[in-house]
Every structure is written in structure tokens, then in C-alpha cells.
């Protein structure tokens, strides 16, 4: 796995590093760096600020060596497990995407026994990014349902979006055709992205919250008539890309509304997730409406579709 490790070094260690990598320096030095060097498979960049960056498959080995040296020289301990994390990379990506016009997509409902799958693509011109940031869409994963219900209607007014709702009967039909969840997701993402690209043919990047390896994604959509191919796949994309964040909020809002209307129809408020409370509720619904009701409101390949028998 490719790693980026960053930590701050003392002036003393800085000197040592400059000397050590003297012969391995690359010709070009990035802005604000003292040097950039390749040592075996690891790229080392030392910045004027004292920030040392190690990148590559074995970056941890090199980083560890210098962390130990630091401790011997100055007694300063470097917390490598902290330096490991992907924060630097995420910050870089966020900085880049902040200044770009993006189309982004995200889905909701794939972990819930009850209710549809909702996929949304949003188009966010770069001028709109600060506004969305202010609204707080960045942390869509940590936003409560209450807040989603508050901000989503505004979002839907202000942000160009395309949403597709895959209802349970259709989902179950896909499943019976042998489509797994990732294939269904890929097909739906492609569908909203195709539509969005037609609406807004000019943009800087298309970003998808990664749920499967890119090669697999394209395998999954190989039978789709039209395909969007210029995709940047990012994990946790909603935290770095405004259009993905907006898509995530809108999808969640529509999912909540769908759940509400299904629940109103049944006379039982539906529950999210796939836990035992969901099994119990499924048993209740089957008792009242019979088991033929479930495929209309639930994803029948989930374990819940067997487990509810225990609660009948």
C-alpha cells in the first residue's frame, strides 16, 4: 500500500537529513522544500518549515529510522501512528478540489433492509463551494437527520442535481438476476452521472465516493448503453468534494422522505439499518400484511429476510 507519512523534525535532524540525502537528491526541488530525494522506493521531501514527508510502499521504514534518530538527538518522540494517517493527502485533495467545478455522486440506503436506494449527482461550480461549506454539507456523514431535513430543501433549490430512486421491487428483481450490491450501485451512479453530464457538459472533475475498485466499477457498467468514464474515485469523497457532499445530503433527505411515506402507508414507521429491531418490525409487518408485502418495502437478499421468522 502506498503511504504518505509526515512529521516535523528539529533543526538538528534537518541538518542530518540534508547531509544523508545529498547524493540522492532529485534535480528538481518543489517550492518551499530544501530537497526532494529518492531512496530505494521511498520519496523524501524536506520542507524549509521542518516538515519531512515520506512517500512510497515502504515509507514507514524510512520514517521510522528518522524518528529514532530524532529521539536519540533531541529526545523528542515522534508519534508515527499519528503521522501515518491520510490527513495530509486528504487536505491536499480538498485544497485542489476547493478551487474546481465538480460533478459528484453519492448514494444512500445500501445498508438498510427497508426502503429504496437513492443515488444523486450534483453539479457544483467552483464559485458555489464556499457557500456549501458554510451550510456545513462537508460532514454529511456526521450530520443528524434533523439537520438534513433542515438544510436539504435549500440545497435542492440552490444546487443542480439529478436523483434516481431504485424502489425495492426493482432492486429485488436486479438481485434475482444475480446483480450484487456493488453492480447495482455502479449502474445507478453511472445513470445519474450520464444525465448530469448532459445537463452540464463543462466541469473540471467528476468525483465518485469510491465503493469498489475502479476497474471493477467499469466492469459492472460494461452493459450500460452510455458510460461516464472520466471519473476520479476517492474514498470519503464527501469530506473533500462539495458536489459529493451535497449529493450525499440530498440522497439522505430523499431516502428519509421515502421511508416516511412507506411507513405512513403501512401504519408502522420504518426503521433504518439492518439490526434486530428491524427483524422485529419485519415480523410485525408480515403478521399484519402477510409475507408478500416484504418485497415491496425491503431488500430481500439481506439476512433480515430470514431472521424475522424468529420473531413471528
For residue 110, give Cα distances in angstroms to 101, 117, 198, 305.
Answer: 28, 6, 26, 15
Site size toward Mn ion (CB under 5 A) is 2
156 to 195: interface string for Mn ion, x by CB under 5 A? ----------------------------------------
Helix (H, G, I), strand (E, B) or coil at 87: helix
Q: Which residue in the shown chain puts its C-beta closest to Mn ion?
A: 209
3-state secondary structure string across 222-271: CCCCCCCCCEEEECCHHHCCHHHHHHHHHHHHHHHHHHHHHHHHHCCCCC
254 to 293: interface string for Mn ion, x by CB under 5 A? ----------------------------------------
C-alpha cell at 227: 458510460
Pairing of strands 160-166, 51-56: unpaired
| CA–CA dist 241, 233 (Å, integer) | 11
Task: List, in order, residues 6 or more apart from 305 with CB less than 8 Å away.
Answer: 113, 282, 294, 298, 299
In whole angstroms, how close is the CB of 13 to Mn ion at the nearest point? 40
Nearer to Mn ion, 14 or 183 (CB): 183
In whole angstroms, how close is the CB of 210 to Mn ion at the nearest point? 8
Nearer to Mn ion, 78 or 118 (CB): 118
In whole angstroms, how close is the CB of 147 to Mn ion at the nearest point? 18
Choosing from 60, 70, 209, 279, the residue that interacts with Mn ion (CB under 5 A) is: 209
Residues 34-53 interacting with Mn ion (rule: CB under 5 A): none
Nearer to Mn ion, 42 or 248 (CB): 248
In whole angstroms, how close is the CB of 60 to Mn ion at the nearest point? 29
Task: List, in order, residues 6 or more apart from 308 with CB less than 8 Å away.
Answer: 279, 280, 282, 283, 286
Task: List, in order, residues 6 or more apart from 152 with CB less than 8 Å away.
Answer: 249, 250, 252, 253
In whole angstroms, how close is the CB of 159 to Mn ion at the nearest point? 17
Task: Give yes or no for residue 112 binding Mn ion (CB under 5 A).
Answer: no
In whole angstroms, how close is the CB of 32 to Mn ion at the nearest point? 35
Nearer to Mn ion, 36 or 105 (CB): 105
Residues 92-111 interacting with Mn ion (rule: CB under 5 A): 106
Under the rule (CB under 5 A), what is the footprint of Mn ion? 106, 209
Amino acid at each position: 500500500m502506498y503511504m504518505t507519512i509526515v512529521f516535523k523534525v528539529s533543526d538538528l535532524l534537518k541538518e542530518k537529513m540534508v547531509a544523508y540525502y545529498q547524493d540522492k537528491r532529485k534535480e528538481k526541488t518543489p517550492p518551499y522544500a530544501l530537497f526532494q530525494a529518492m531512496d530505494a522506493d521511498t520519496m523524501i521531501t524536506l520542507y524549509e518549515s521542518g516538515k519531512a514527508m515520506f512517500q512510497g510502499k515502504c515509507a514507514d521504514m524510512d520514517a521510522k529510522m528518522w524518528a529514532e534518530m530524532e529521539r536519540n538527538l533531541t529526545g523528542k518522540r515522534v508519534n508515527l501512528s499519528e503521522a501515518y494517517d491520510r490527513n495530509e493527502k486528504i487536505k491536499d485533495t480538498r485544497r485542489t478540489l476547493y478551487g474546481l467545478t465538480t460533478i459528484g455522486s453519492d448514494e444512500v440506503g445500501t445498508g438498510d433492509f427497508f426502503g429504496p436506494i437513492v443515488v444523486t449527482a450534483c453539479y457544483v461550480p467552483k464559485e458555489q463551494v464556499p457557500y456549501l461549506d458554510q451550510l456545513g454539507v462537508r460532514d454529511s456523514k456526521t450530520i443528524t437527520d434533523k439537520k438534513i431535513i433542515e438544510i436539504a430543501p435549500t440545497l435542492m433549490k440552490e444546487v443542480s442535481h439529478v436523483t434516481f430512486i431504485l424502489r425495492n421491487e426493482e432492486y429485488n428483481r436486479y438481485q434475482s438476476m444475480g446483480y450484487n450490491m456493488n453492480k447495482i450501485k455502479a449502474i445507478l451512479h453511472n445513470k445519474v452521472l450520464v444525465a448530469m453530464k448532459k445537463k452540464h457538459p463543462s466541469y473540471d472533475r467528476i468525483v465518485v465516493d469510491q465503493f469498489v475498485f475502479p476497474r471493477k466499477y467499469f466492469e459492472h457498467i460494461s452493459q450500460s448503453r452510455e458510460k461516464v468514464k472520466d471519473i476520479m474515485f476517492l474514498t470519503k469523497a464527501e469530506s473533500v468534494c462539495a458536489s459529493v457532499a451535497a449529493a450525499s445530503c440530498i440522497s439522505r433527505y430523499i431516502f428519509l422522505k421515502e421511508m416516511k411515506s412507506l411507513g405512513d402507508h403501512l401504519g408502522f414507521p420504518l426503521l433504518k439499518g439492518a439490526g434486530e429491531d428491524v427483524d422485529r418490525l419485519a415480523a410485525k409487518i408480515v403478521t399484519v400484511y402477510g409475507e408478500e408485502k416484504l418485497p415491496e418495502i425491503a431488500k430481500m437478499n439481506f439476512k433480515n429476510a430470514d431472521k424475522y421468522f424468529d420473531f413471528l
